[in-house]
Structure 1
Amino acid sequence: MRLLFPLIACLLLLLPRSLSSNYLPSLCHQEERRALMQFKDSFIIKNNSFCEYTEENHPEVASWRMDGNNTNCCVWDGVECNQDTGHVIALNLLRSCLYGSITSNSSLFRLLHLQDLTLVFNDFNHSQIPSEIGNLSSLTYLDLFNSNFSGQIPSEIQYLSKLSSLSLGSLDGYNYLYTKSLTSLVQNLTNLEELALSNINISSTIPESLANLSSLKFLFLDSCGLYGQFPTRIFQLPHLQDLDVRYNKNLTGHLPEFHTNSPLVHLYLGSTNFSGDLPASIGNLNSLTFFDISNCNFSGAIPNSLSNLTQLTLLDLSQNSFNDLSWFTRPSSNAILPQFEMLGLDHLNLTKFPDVLRNQSKLEYLLLRGNNLQGLIPKWMHNVSKDSLQLLYLSNNFLTSFENFPAIIPWPNLKDLLLDNNMMNGSLPIPPPSLQVYVVSNNLFTGRISPFFCNMSSPRELDLSYNHLSGMIHPCFGNLNQTSLSILALRCNNLGGTIPKTWAKGCLLRMLDLSQNQLQGHLPRSLANCTELEYLHVGHNQINDTYPSWLGTLQQLKILVFHSNGFHGAIWSPETNYSFPNLHIIDLSHNHLSGNLPTGYFTQWDAMKSNGVKNLHYLGDWVNYSITMAIKGVELEYKKIHDDLKVIDFSCNRFEGEIPEQVGNLKGLHVLNLSNNAFTGHIPSSFGNLIELESLDLSQNKLFGEIPPELVQLHFLSMFNVSHNGLTGHIPQGQQFGTFENTSFEDNRGLCGRPLSKICGDSNVSPPTFEENQGPRFVFEFGWKVVAMGYGCGFVFGVVIGHIVTTRKPDLVIKIFGKKQRQTRISRVNRRK
């Protein structure tokens, strides 16, 4: 008992100190508290693409206040203080919805004791990282990932010698940061354990000195524009766990011999120029779980030692040049194989389904596109990872059907199925309710589309294009849009009847392609409920309807194609004041539309008023929109449409009256075709403002007067056709007009000058005469391919296939591409991997 009381007394003496150090927060310094509030006040807190601010899930910084009991900044969300000194040592503002710029005099740089600075997923509005960041000399952790900085990374970061983690990268390439020297940036950061520079423009070789960072565990240099030889010694860093240099196409290298003690867990080399053999010693990487070498130049055999990697869950060998694939195709043995969750085997020239799949029970993603798989999908495949498989890509093979053809796709939890560009026949296999993406375009499927397709609980994309499907489109398809359907493509089948009349409110469709079928009736007005619609294509059907002016309410519409139908009447209605502000392509050709073009119709086409390539983007998001257009009499399918391409085709209708001057305000236009109508009056001189124009076809109309001399300044005009009109006077000379042939001007008896043989000043010129219905008559006398002879090509074709063309040589493009025949296995809808 005597010993117990002194022990209790000692504990009581220690207890307050223990509570103070572990449970009572330190008081922050007044100057640091003021600096934090000034930092907060220098930003707007709002929702943006990086974070979502709600009352229930408010960001840390929103709760900072200096009233009442909130004066101690050490208890503020996202702030951490040293328990002994009270100095702020960590600031974690992840997803705090900050919007604004960090300037060189920001109060942030007065927090000189900061060791951890995390500003991930905020929006700093393309501001530069101030060089004053180098003043925070105590920093060990600096994370500015995906925070919308731009400009040059300040060289002062190299003086933060205590850094163990530096993250400046971004997701998806939306980063405008760059550095002129990776060497100088990291040469003094000898304590680095993590270096993350994803999507930063480095555009240099990888310095050999990077292999001297002996503490490095994580190295992320994907999508950095790296080139040259990758230093092999980096693979052998003693603590390296994650290495990612994907998407550096000019980066070369080869794999070294690996030792058994290598700690590598994730190795990403995809979409680089790495080559050589896979060493047998790769089987020594006992901790490896992710291995991606897709789209490289590896060759030789796939080593049997790959079976030793029992921890491997992701393996992507797609698009390489292996000449020995026996590891996949040998009969199954009792060997313990890795249980993959993702297996990428695209474009490996496989001729049969790999036997290694027979033992797989955990697969979620299986990629077998672009191989030489032929005949039936074997019955044993139906049981491969039956309950876990979510994504199955079998596009671009020679598959004909399922063995023991199931009525329903046999994987009950499948979400994505790509079977496009095969030779699949019979009726469409019914999707399970879980399926979200069902793409079977360019096959030989027949029969009707089952109403069971409407049992899909959350569809995103349904593409049945280029098959031999018949019957009607079930009315329930209009209700699929209440969920999540973004893309519905039924192009080029034998579907008849009418378009479903009811499209539900809240419809989320972005793409609707019903072209090249036998659809009749009207365009349902309920499509106005699809307010997100960007692409509407109903060309080559038998629709008989007045012009649906109500479509002008669809503010997101970018591509509108009605060609070769029975649309009739005027194209303007007083019912709506909206008129396609985002429209890029409109094709109303080969219909029976009539009346004048209203002058106000073109004033709101804002997207067509902008010109010049600003960003290299394609129309569409995760699916690229495609379209068929006629170029100099050759129909070409554009698999990608650049967002700068602007086209108007009103040809082969019955429009009359004068061409509105307002068309000349659409300065972004590349193609304008008004041929085969009954337009009268002069060619608008405002067409001289169409500085991007490459193809102008006004042939087969009743135009009179002179060709405006302002057209000479259209430097990119590669095709010009005003034949079969009543034009008079001199043909303008100079620039592109020196390249046009006689046929561009024929049957204008009042025109003179080159390239015509008629010399100006000849008085024996008969006045132009027109038959009463000359314009409409030509609609039926000229076939599509003849009428389209006026189309030009050049930048138009270049941007569609994804290249910037600096010299415009349209005829060369036609020589290269014009004779290309349509092939059975060309993919009709391109998808991003």
Structure 2
Amino acid sequence: MEIIPIVVYGFECNQDTGHVIALNLSRSCIYGAITSNSSLFCLHHLQNLTLAGNDFNHSQIPHEIGNLSSLIHLDLSYSNFSGQIPSEIQYLSNDLYTKSLTSLVQNLTNLEELLLNINISSTVPKSLANLSSLKILSLIRCGLYGQFPTRIFQLPHLQVLVVPGNEDLTGHLPEFHTNSPLQYLSLASTNFSGDLPASIGNLNSLTTIYINYFNFSGTIPNSFSNLTQLTSLGLSQNSFSDLSWVTRASSNDILPQFEYLGLAHLNLTKFPDILRNQSKLETLYLDSNSFQGLIPKWMYNVSKESLLDLSLYDNVFLTGFENSPAVIPWPNLESLDLENNMMHGSLPIPPPSLMYYFVLNNSFTGRISPFFCNMSSPIVLDLSYNHLSGMIHPCFGNSNQTSLSVLALRCNNLGGTIPKTWAKGCLLRMFDLSQNQLQGHLPRSLANCTELEYLHVGHNQINDTYPSWLGTLQQLKILVFHSNGFHGAIWSPETNYSFPSLHIIDLSHNHLSGNLLAGYFAQWDAMESVGSKNLYYLGDLVDYSITMAIKGVELEYKKIHDDLKVIDFSCNRFEGEIPKQVGNLEGLHVLNLSNNAFTGHIPSSFANLTQLESLDLSQNKLFGEIPPELTQLNFLSKFNVSHNSLIGPIPNAQQFGTFENTSFEDNRGLCGRPLSKICGDSDISTPPPSTSFEENRGPNFFFEFGWKVVVMGYGCGFVFGVVIGHIVTTRKPYLVIKIFGKKQCQTRIKVNRRK
């Protein structure tokens, strides 16, 4: 399939011959493979080709690339190619790379630029250090391993050296000479170690150095002060034993004026004095240090006009701002992260410029100020896990706030009703109001938020009929209503059910009633899908998280794979037969219909749910036999049909041999293992189904969980990464969230998100 568009992003022709010599298709939304007969390979005079920033869907770089015999510059970075690099590349006149780095560099002695962002699982050949003309070396996330040749740092013309994201690549920094032209050095997220040489101060042209997430130790050399051209410095998460260059008073030094400064994970105990004379900072990361008490007042003047991004995430003993400013003191700030601290008092009022505001997991109190309505283009507002009270201001839904993509207010003391007006054009994608004291109805105007993917209002006091109109939201993936007062049937003649993208629906612990109609599940296309070619976590700006009762255990999913499919209708008043069409949702991992008043047989179509790992039909009025076809469910590890009126032998094959007695108890007509009743006994009569719905629900209406655990995502075969033991008991209680009982929201939980 020809993928090169007629209208290209940019091209250049030779003025004399008219031949195309440069073609730039970067970020052109190209998708798919480049076929061997593409007209691209007819451009024999092409010298410069850029395909960066497209999606070639894990296809291979075509061998025909060798036809471009005049090519001297080839950029395939961030283009989602996979497989081996074709050997034909080594025949290009001055160009690039092959599946064997060693065989390539031996032939490309005049190479000036080498840029790669593809997993080649290779060592870095020592012969790279012989490429004396090399100016740019960029090998990002290439799966490199082994020792990085030190001599490459000393190439006479090397200006850019970028090898981040190669976690198995080891090495150390050499001694640097004064005539080095190196300007940009990034070794972030590799396994380099050792000391930083004092001679690093000889790199007079250096503007950027990223050595974040390393194993460097020893001292930060004072010679950093000599790097007067340095504008970006990343030192985060190393093991330095001496941080005096950062922490000392620096009034007598002429220090570089940074635009980016990363000082996270360095165990700093006070705000570093190096910041006092910084006036041009745009990005400052001070995450995961050991700051205590208040942010000092002198910090308010640090790069006051230029600062755009400030992160103080996870300084757990940081309690607030000195003099408690009513307004955040940086007027042009765009992103503020105060997450996972112990800050208290009222919420700092954001400047109008702020777009990303993270203060979750603190102890802020009081109301959300109406000054939050002055934010001109908010995108993420996460105030979860605090002690905020009052009402949610209606401005969050009006036309001035349509840019808002994430509004997370989970686990506070907010009351009143949900804002009723949500404007057309609303861009909201995540809306989390769970674990508050909200009342009233779910506003129908939320249907204007057509991008909505995540809606969570669990554990509130909402009293409303089932909002079937949400089915019109084509992007909705996660819908959680548990523990509210939703009532009535879940069918409405006004809608055609829809929910094509739904992955998780939790309606448990409400007062919903009536029959489940077959058509309700007809368009749940995402749940019919089995597996996923490219697994990813749901959520973009933040990682979606959720608490669910699965396999008899209450789990907090801090990340949710797109392959996870869950239905929980437990603890309601549904009745009638379970529709056999539920068996069409072949991607389901969890199905919980317990504590209802379902009658009839267990559908044999459930045998189609080949991914199912947890099936709970307990506390209903089901009768008949357990379908023997269910033995085909090879992943089933939780099965509960107790407290029904089932009869006949329990299937004795595959997974059914692992289920305990409690999975089948209180079905007087069942026999066979693991029950003590042997099939063929005379007393297998079945009592008539209970006529009282409340009686059927039994004394154990709510789940009896003796312990709660935290799970991060899930992996192959829906394996639960259960974190128990010392985390659950004494050592890290903040990782455990207890959601039954409002006061238990005060328990702190570390929440993952994307930054």
Calculate the TM-score normalised by the size of structure 1: 0.85
The change in CA–CA distance for 1:814 and 1:237 in structure 2 (over 3 A counts) is same
- Measure, in 2, the Cα distance between the counterparts of 1:82 and 1:737: 77
Q: Distance in 1 between the 2:115 and 2:468 partners?
A: 52
What root-mean-square deviation, in Å, do the aligned CA atoms of Structure 1 and Structure 2 show? 2.5
- Is 1:590–1:779's contact at 8 Å kept on the other side of the alignment? no
Give the Å deviation of 1:455.
0.4
**Corresponding residue of 2:743:** none
Which secondary structure state, in structure 1, belongs to the residue aligned with residue 554 of structure 2?
A: strand
Aligned residue number for residue 245 of structure 2: 327
Of the three residues 25, 33, 40, the one matched with 1:94 is 25
More deviation in 689-698 or 604-613?
604-613
Matched, 1:457 2:376: yes
State the 1:162 CA deviation.
3.0
Aligned length: 741
Which of the numbers 177, 189, 195 marks the counterpart of 1:271? 189
Contact 1:618 1:640 in 2 (8 A): yes
Assess, with a 3 A threshold, how the Cα gap between structure 1 residues 426 and 630 changes in structure 2: closer, same or farther.
same
User: 659-668 or 780-789: which moved more?
Assistant: 780-789
Residue 474 of structure 1: how far off its partner (Å): 1.3
Residues of 2 paired with 1:153 and 1:232: CA distance? Answer: 25
Question: Structure 2: which amino acid aligns with 1:327?
Answer: W
**Structure with greater helix share of residues:** 1
Per-residue deviation at 1:613?
Answer: 4.1
Indicate conservation of the 8 Å contact 1:513/1:535, yes or no: yes
Partner of 1:45: 5
* Per-residue deviation, 1:128: 4.2
Tell me how far 1:768 sits from its aligned partner: 2.1
- Kept in 2, the 8 Å contact 1:505–1:529? The answer is yes
Partner of 1:338: 256
For 1:826 and 1:271, the matched residues in 2 are separated by 29
Structure 1 distance, partners of 2:611, 2:314, is 37
- Segment of structure 1 superposing worse, 140-149 or 510-519: 140-149
Kindly tell me: are residues 140 and 45 of structure 1, through their superposed partners in 2, closer, same or farther at Cα, counting changes over 3 Å? closer
CA offset digits 1:288-318 (Å, max 9, x no partner): 1111111111111111111111111111111
Partner of 1:570: 489
Task: Report deviation, 1:241.
Answer: 0.8
The DSSP-based 3-state class of the residue aligned with 1:755 is coil
| Counterpart among 437, 440, 444 of residue 359 in structure 2 | 440
CA distance in 2, matches of 1:502, 1:598: 31
Tell me the alpha carbon deviations over residues 473-506 of structure 1, each in whole angstroms, 9 at most, x when there is no partner. 1111211674310000111111111001101111
SS at match of 1:751: strand
Matches within 5 A, 1:785-796: 785-786=703-704
1:248 counterpart SS class: coil
Amino acid corresponding to residue 281 of structure 2 in structure 1: L
Given candidates 55, 69, 93, the residue that maps to 1:161 is 93
The yes-or-no answer on 1:637 pairing with 2:597 is no
Deviates more, 1:608-617 or 1:336-345: 608-617
* Cα contact 2:378–2:401 (8 A) shared by 1: no
| Inter-partner Cα distance in structure 1 for 2:378 and 2:2 | 44
1:202: which partner in 2? 120
How far apart are 1:325 and its partner, in Å? Answer: 1.3
Matches within 5 A, 1:740-751: 740-751=659-670
Q: Determine the structure 2 residue equivalent to 1:520.
A: 439
Deviation at 1:638, TM superposition (A): 1.4
The amino acid that maps onto 2:568 is: D
CA contact (8 A) 1:561 1:588 kept: yes
- Preserved CA contact (<8 Å) 1:158 1:187: no
C-alpha distance after superposition, 1:791-821 (max 9, x if no partner) = 9x9xxx9xx625634696x698766876574
Are 1:406 and 1:429, in contact at CA under 8 Å, matched by a contact in 2?
yes
In 2: Cα distance, 1:102 partner to 1:488 partner: 41
Classify the secondary structure of the residue corresponding to 1:488.
strand
- 1:660 paired with 2:576, answer no
Identity of aligned residues (%): 76
Deviation at 1:190, TM superposition (A): 1.1
Cα contact 1:92–1:118 (8 A) shared by 2: yes
Whole-Å separation in 2 of the counterparts to 1:459 and 1:811 = 35
Instruction: Quote the Cα distance in structure 2 between the aligned partners of 1:756 and 1:558.
Output: 40
Question: Does 1:364 pair with 2:290?
Answer: no
Q: Quick one: structure 1 residues 466 and 146, their matched pair in 2 at CA, closer, same or farther if it must change by over 3 Å?
A: closer
The corresponding residue for 1:532 is 451
- 1:322 deviates by 1.2
Paired with 2:127 and 2:533, the residues of 1 have a C-alpha distance of: 38
* Post-superposition CA distance 1:197-234 (Å, at most 9, x none): 02x01111111111111111101101111111111111
Residues 1:801 and 2:712 are matched in the alignment: yes
1:80 corresponds, among 7, 10, 13, to 13
Contact 1:596 1:655 in 2 (8 A): yes
CA distance in 2, matches of 1:722, 1:445: 45
User: Residues of 2 paired with 1:409 and 1:331: CA distance?
Assistant: 26
When structure 1 is superposed on structure 2, of 235-244 and 635-644 the one drifting more is 635-644
Identify the residue that residue 739 of structure 2 maps to in structure 1.
none
Asked if the contact 1:319/1:346 (under 8 Å) is kept, the reply is: yes
Task: State the distance in 2 between where 1:548 and 1:754 align.
Answer: 44
CA offsets, 1:79-109, max 9 Å, x none? 42362xx262613243567777644344544
CA deviation vs aligned residue, 1:120-153 (integer Å, no higher than 9, x gap): 5566676544323323333323344555655432
In 1, are the aligned partners of 2:557 and 2:713 still within 8 Å (CA)? no
CA distance in structure 2 between the partners assigned to 1:719 and 1:456 by the alignment? 48
Deviation of 1:832 (Å): 2.7
Q: What are the within-5 Å matches in structure 2 for residues 770-789 of structure 1?
A: 770-774=689-693, 776-777=694-695, 781-782=699-700, 784-786=702-704
SS in 2 for 1:471: coil
TM-score (norm 2): 0.93
State the partner residue of 2:741.
none
Q: What CA distance in whole angstroms lies between the structure 2 residues aligned with 1:154 and 1:328? A: 47
When residues 210 and 698 of structure 1 are mapped into structure 2, their CA distance, relative to the original with a 3 A threshold, is same
1:827 shift after superposition: 5.0
Give the structure with higher Rg (CA).
Answer: 1
1:673 to 592, 605, 621: 592
Once residues 687 and 741 of structure 1 are traced to their aligned partners in structure 2, the CA distance between those partners, rounded to angstroms, is 21
Query: Partners of 1:99 and 1:270 in 2: how far apart?
Result: 30
Aligned to 2:621: 702
Aligned to 1:185: 104
Displacement of 1:822 in angstroms is 3.6
Residue identity in the other structure for 2:89 = I
Match of 1:141 among 47, 57, 73: 73
* DSSP 3-state at the match of 2:152: helix
Alignment of 1:707-786 (within 5 A): 707-774=626-693, 776-777=694-695, 781-782=699-700, 784-786=702-704
- Residue 682 of structure 1 deviates from its aligned partner by 0.4
Q: Does the Cα contact within 8 Å between 1:158 and 1:189 map onto a contact in 2?
A: yes
Alignment partners' CA distance in 2, 1:99 and 1:445: 46
Decide whether aligned partners of structure 1 residues 386 and 370 sit closer, same or farther in structure 2, where only a CA change above 3 A counts: same
Deviation of 1:579 after TM superposition, in Å, equals: 1.9
Distance 1:454 1:364 in 2: 25
Equivalent residue letter for 1:615: N
- CA pair 770-822 structure 1, distance change in 2 beyond 3 A: farther
Q: Tell me which residue corresponds to 2:268.
A: 350
Deviates more, 1:282-291 or 1:813-822: 813-822
Opposite residue 5 of structure 2, the aligned amino acid is I
| 1:598 alignment partner in structure 2 | 517
Distance 2:718 2:341 in 1: 38
Distance 1:99 1:467 in 2: 44
Residues 712 and 481 of structure 1, relative CA distance in 2, 3 Å threshold: farther
* Unaligned 5+ runs, structure 2: 736-745
Which residues of 2 match residues 35-74 of structure 1 at below 5 A?
43=3, 45=5, 59=8
The whole-number CA distance in structure 1 between the counterparts of 2:29 and 2:618 is 56
Aligned to 1:552: 471
Deviation, structure 1 residue 437: 0.7
Per the alignment, do residues 367 and 110 of structure 1 end up closer, same or farther by CA in structure 2, a change over 3 Å counting? closer
Q: Is 1:832–2:750 an aligned residue pair?
A: no
C-alpha contact 2:382 2:406 (8 A) present in aligned 1: yes
